[in-house]
Every structure is written in C-alpha cells, then in structure tokens.
Amino acid sequence: MSFFKNIKDKLSTQTDSVTEKFKDGLSKTRDSFVGAMNELMMDYRTVDEEFFEELEEVLITADVGVSTSMELVDELRDEALRRNIKNTQDLQPLITEKLSALLVKTEEETELNLQTDTLTVILVVGVNGVGKTTTIGKLAHKFKQENKKVVLAAGDTFRAGAIEQLEVWGSRAGVEVVKQQAGSDPAAVMYDAVRSAKSRGADILICDTAGRLQNKVNLMKELEKVKRVLTREIPEAPHEVLLVLDATTGQNAMTQAKIFGEATDVSGIVLTKLDGTAKGGIVMAIRNELNIPVKFVGLGEGLDDLQKFVPEQYVNGLFSDLIEERKNEEETS
C-alpha cells in the first residue's frame, strides 16, 4: 500500500468532524506553505542545486526549522540522484512523503500516560501568555466529558489574576480548584492539591505553574521544587509534563521548549493557536529537533477546540488536495 493511500484509509476510520477541524485550522499554513511549494514548482521545472536552495528557503519560512529543513533537502538530493528524478513535478510527492514521515511515525507517542489504579498528575508548564490556563480549562472539560473526576491546582501564585482566571475555567468545566492566597509557595499548593484530590477520589489532577521566564533561574528552581513535592506524594508523579507553546511565535517556541526541558522532563507539547499562524511547520521542527511529541493542538477558541494531535489529520490538513489526487491516480492506474 502506498503512503498516500495509507493516509486516506486511516482518515476514513476517523470522524469527519475532526478531519474538517484540522483542515480548517490549518488553512493559513496550507495556503501559505502549499502555495509557496506550487509556485516553486512553476518557477523551476528542472531539479538542480538552485531549486534545492529555494526549497530549503520555503521550508525555513514555514518554520520547519533550519536543521530539519537542511536534513530534508539533503535526503531529497540523494533520493533524486538515486532515482534519476529530473523534473520537479516528479519530486513533489516525495517532498510531501518525507515531510509527513516526520510525524506519522509518532502516533503511539501522542497518547497521554493516564493511570487506571491511582491519581494521574499532569503538570502544565509554559511562559505567560501562551494560553496555559486556557489549555488547562479545556483539558479539564475534555476529561469531564469522558466522565473523569478532575481537580485543578492553582500553582501560578504570583501572576496577578492567575488564580481567579483558573477559577473561572474551573467553573466553566465544572471541576474543583485547590488554591491558596496570592504569593503563596507553589509547592505548598501542590501538596494540598494532591491530598485534596486523593480525598475526593479524583481521577486526574492538573497543576498550573508560574511562567515568569524573565526570572529564569528562580522559575526553574521553583518547577524543580514543585516536581519534588509531587513525586514525594506519588512516586511516579507527575505522569505527564505538558509544555504549552504558542504556534504563532515560531522559532521562539523552540527556544522556550529547550529552556523548560532543562528544568523538567517535558513529556509532550500542547501547541496553541495553530489556526492563527501560517507557519504550522513548527510542529515538524519540534518533533524532529527536540524529539518531543506534540500531544494536543489548539484549533480555535471554543471549549472543544483543543484537539488530540493525530499525525494523519495534520498531514491531511496540509496536503489534502495532493493526497486525494495521488490516491485517485493510483486507483485508476
């Protein structure tokens, strides 16, 4: 079975509503990236070094990342030489396949490490302004819809209004929020939250944290302390450390991921505002250069717009026209 037919067959087993949500959410990236690719194919009919240089530029502009873009172009050079591909149109399906392969192989890594016999603790980290509290609220809503009992921990005790903001989201999702006074020790909040979640028989505890990156050293020490407290109460906790990144910030998101990775073992990325950027290639850069799976993506502002990241959905959202075209060609040949 070919790559393109495999993608379409997998998508046929998934809900149409989710497929369309990904397609709609990636429309800006698709129009920009695929448009630039098509323009490149029109400008260059022959596969040569100048074409590869321009292709690298297109990939970097889409925030696929310098390192990832260079690796992909090197692979394409070798493959074009090996297959004796001279026409750029003949190379286009191979470009799509190589880009897609960066993500499709990660499907099993996108699952959350949810516990069945004990409290699951999810630590949510990220700088202020990326949509961290909103993400926590949407996650709480998602789990509540799955009939799980959820408790939130208001661990961002220093940012003005952070506790109140989390309470608003807790109210919307219909879940309890454990808090202390503004300025309290975040680790103390986590201690209370674990004890409270256990006593209430909760399934999941989602912990908010501070995001003052300007105080990098203090922030990292604080996160390390919070993690120690959680581990002391539940040896395997936190079971997930989700780093929230704003897709519209592009390569700056990569820098944030590296910084937070130094302080705690990030197990997954939540990429917000993916629908608001034309540079959705950042998903590929994160996966390839940081080796951290993207677990959720934000494709809108609604309560249900935080979607589990499904590699095939992302690939289809970017290359739907080409995938459909190639599958039809293969079925009629």
Residues of the chain above pLDDT 90, percent: 43
Integer angstrom CA distances of residue 75 from 71, 79, 242, 252: 6, 6, 32, 26
Q: Which two tokens stand for residue 150?
A: 């959820």
pLDDT of the residue at 24? 81
CATH code linked to domain 112-311 = 3.40.50.300
More confident call, 245 vs 108: 245
Helix, strand, coil shares, percent, the chain, to 5: 60, 10, 30
From first CA to last CA, the distance across the chain in angstroms is 14
**Mean predicted confidence (pLDDT) in 57-69:** 88
Give the separation between CA 271 and CA 131, rounded to whole angstroms. 9
Would the pLDDT of 175 be above 70? yes
pLDDT of the residue at 260? 84
Under DSSP, is residue 47 helix (H, G, I), strand (E, B) or coil? coil
Feature table: binding site for GTP = 126-133, 208-212, 272-275
Give the separation between CA 49 and CA 243, rounded to whole angstroms. 38
Would the pLDDT of 125 be above 50? yes
**How confident is residue 193, by pLDDT bands cut at 50, 70 and 90?**
very high
Concatenate the DSSP letters of all residues of 126-142 into one string.
Answer: --TTSSHHHHHHHHHHH
Residue pair 36/62 in contact by the 8 Å Cβ criterion: yes
Would the pLDDT of 107 be above 70? no
Give the separation between CA 156 and CA 163, rounded to whole angstroms. 7
Residue pair 243/271 in contact by the 8 Å Cβ criterion: no
Give the separation between CA 199 and CA 121, rounded to whole angstroms. 14
pLDDT of the residue at 261? 80
Q: What is residue 290's DSSP assignment?
A: I
Q: How much is the pTM? A: 0.85
Would the pLDDT of 324 be above 70? no
**Mean predicted confidence (pLDDT) in 54-70:** 89
More confident call, 80 vs 262: 80
**How confident is residue 92, by pLDDT bands cut at 50, 70 and 90?**
confident
Q: Which residue type sits at 181?
A: Q
| Domain spans in the chain, listed from the N-terminal domain onward | 14-108+314-332, 112-311
Smallest Cα–Cα separation from 212: which of 154, 128, 294? Answer: 128
pLDDT of the residue at 101? 75
pLDDT of the residue at 281? 81
Mean pLDDT over each residue of the chain, to the nearest integer: 84
Query: 266: Cβ–Cβ under 8 A, 6 or more apart, which residues?
Result: 125, 241, 242, 243, 257, 260, 292
Beta bridge partners of 270: 244, 296
Residues of the chain above pLDDT 70, percent: 87
Give the separation between CA 292 and CA 224, rounded to whole angstroms. 19
Q: Which two tokens stand for residue 60?
A: 């970097």
More confident call, 71 vs 213: 71
**Mean predicted confidence (pLDDT) in 170-176:** 94
Would the pLDDT of 255 be above 60? yes
Feature table: binding site = 126-133, 208-212, 272-275
Would the pLDDT of 316 be above 80? no
Integer angstrom CA distances of residue 246 from 135, 215, 298, 318: 11, 20, 9, 19
Smallest Cα–Cα separation from 79: which of 89, 70, 91, 69? Answer: 91
pLDDT of the residue at 198? 96
pLDDT of the residue at 1? 47
Question: What class does CATH assign to 14-108+314-332?
Answer: mainly alpha
**How confident is residue 258, by pLDDT bands cut at 50, 70 and 90?**
confident
Would the pLDDT of 273 be above 80? yes
pLDDT of the residue at 51? 93
Helices then strands, counting H and E runs in the chain, come out as 14, 8
Would the pLDDT of 306 be above 70? yes
Q: Hey, CA dihedral for 248, 18, 151, 236, is it positive or negative?
A: negative
More confident call, 99 vs 43: 43
User: How many other C-beta atoms lie within 10 A of the C-beta of residue 293?
Assistant: 20
pLDDT of the residue at 212? 72
More confident call, 187 vs 278: 187
Residue pair 131/316 in contact by the 8 Å Cβ criterion: no
Give the separation between CA 266 and CA 109, rounded to whole angstroms. 13
Give the separation between CA 23 and CA 6, rounded to whole angstroms. 18
